[in-house]
Amino acid sequence: MTLILAAAFLLSILPPASAAEEARWRPALPGYVYAFPRDHGAHPGFRTEWWYFSGHLKAPQEEGGERFAFMLTFFRSGLRPPAPDDPPRRSRWALRDLHFAHFALLDVRAKRHRHTERFSRGALGEAGAEEGGLNVWIRDWRAGMERDGAIRLAAEGVGAKLALVLAPRKPPVVHGREGVSQKAEGEGRASHYYSFTRLAAQGELTLDGRAFRVEGSAWMDHEFGSNQLAPGQAGWDWLSLQLADGRELMLYHMRREGGGIDPQSSGTVVDADGRARHLPRDAFRFEPAGTWKSPVTGAVYPMGWRVRVSGEGIELEVRPLAEDQELSTEGSTRVIYWEGGVEAKGRWGAESVTGVGFAELVGYAAKGRPRF
């Protein structure tokens, strides 16, 4: 869902494009055929795109057994669509895209959340997103896929440095129907959206000068589209969960101005063997159990959730690992949002289950709301 933050930034800084130029952006339409590793790479024909990674890490007991939750996201926002007369090789000064990145880390025991951001126009190779395979970067922040399918992540700032190798444990899961994840009523108001819902993570985390060997699990989302939003949408709530029994769950609500949930909201259930099932809006309930008010922005966020998917026998209670996991991104996407680690417990059918995940809450701050 973070894709929409990049679109919101462009709307805030750029003059309206001509109708002819707007028409050249490729909409996300049913029938898209995914091909990997090609689709791990950039899609310059679409206006906005992002690569999102989140996960839960733990240090060995002999190093203190510290727990951490991290998020690293790279955004590409197109300034103009590709044209047939574009030269095959562009100048290294040419400006086609804007690039942003957000990095956040939670020290679970201390309940200390820190975040930082980057922005680049991409000149002289400072930032970029390659086509044909996963390789995105802003300076020394990077996400890239090796030939063996492993993904390497690197980011640092605000006293934290992260270097991880992620190994997919399941094939990519495509969300939505017919290759599109619908965000609002109408043709093209959608995105192409897939995930690696379970990646084994290992590497090193340095925090305030102290180095930890860490391992755990991670989640990757990749989404691209051009015109996915509609007037009257106020924001969204998104949830991903990795359960200890090997299953995963993703849900999102697109919220309407004045209250109510857009009927195009949906989700996905993933079995331990990787088989996935689409959940339409009426198949699940995703309700807040409480609230938290940010002492910095004054935004009031839902905090803690009750999740029910009746057709799957899922009943879960989800709570944040810390309440204060808010990000203010004035230096990049200019959106204030809550993105943080969560844990879950409950039942899936006759079985008791536990798990961890991430939640994303956008549109609750009076300032820094995305423009639709």
For the chain, the structural domain boundaries read: 3-13+34-362
Q: Give the residue among 339, 70, 357, 356 at the shortest CA–CA distance from 212.
A: 70
- Note the pLDDT tens digit of each residue in 253-263: 999 998 899 99
Would you place residue 11 in the very low, low, confident or very high pLDDT band (cuts 50, 70, 90)?
Answer: very low
Instruction: Tell me which amino acid residue 160 is.
Output: A
pLDDT at 279: 98
Query: What phi and psi values does residue 11 have, to the nearest 5 degrees?
Result: -60, -30
| Residue pLDDT, tens place only, 101-144 | 999 999 999 999 999 999 999 988 999 999 999 999 999 999 99
Question: What is the percent of the chain where pLDDT is above 90?
Answer: 80
Whole-prediction pTM value?
A: 0.93
Q: How far is CA 277 from CA 176, 181, 269, 271, 272, in A?
A: 9, 13, 5, 9, 12
- Residue 89: pLDDT over 60: no
Contact indicator for 138, 51 with CB cutoff of 8 Å: no
Residue 162 Cα to chain centre, angstroms:
18
First to last CA, the chain: 14
Q: What is the pLDDT of residue 330?
A: 84
CA distances from 353 to 242, 316, 349 (A): 10, 8, 10
Is the Cβ–Cβ distance between 322 and 340 less than 8 Å? yes
CATH number for the domain running over 3-13+34-362? 2.40.370.10
Band of pLDDT at residue 85, cut at 50, 70 and 90? low
* The amino acid at 194: Y
- Distances from the Cα of 366 to the Cα of 296, 362, 363, angstroms: 12, 11, 8
Residue 17 DSSP one-character state: P
| Contact predicate 326/341, CB 8 Å | no
216, two tokens: 């755990």
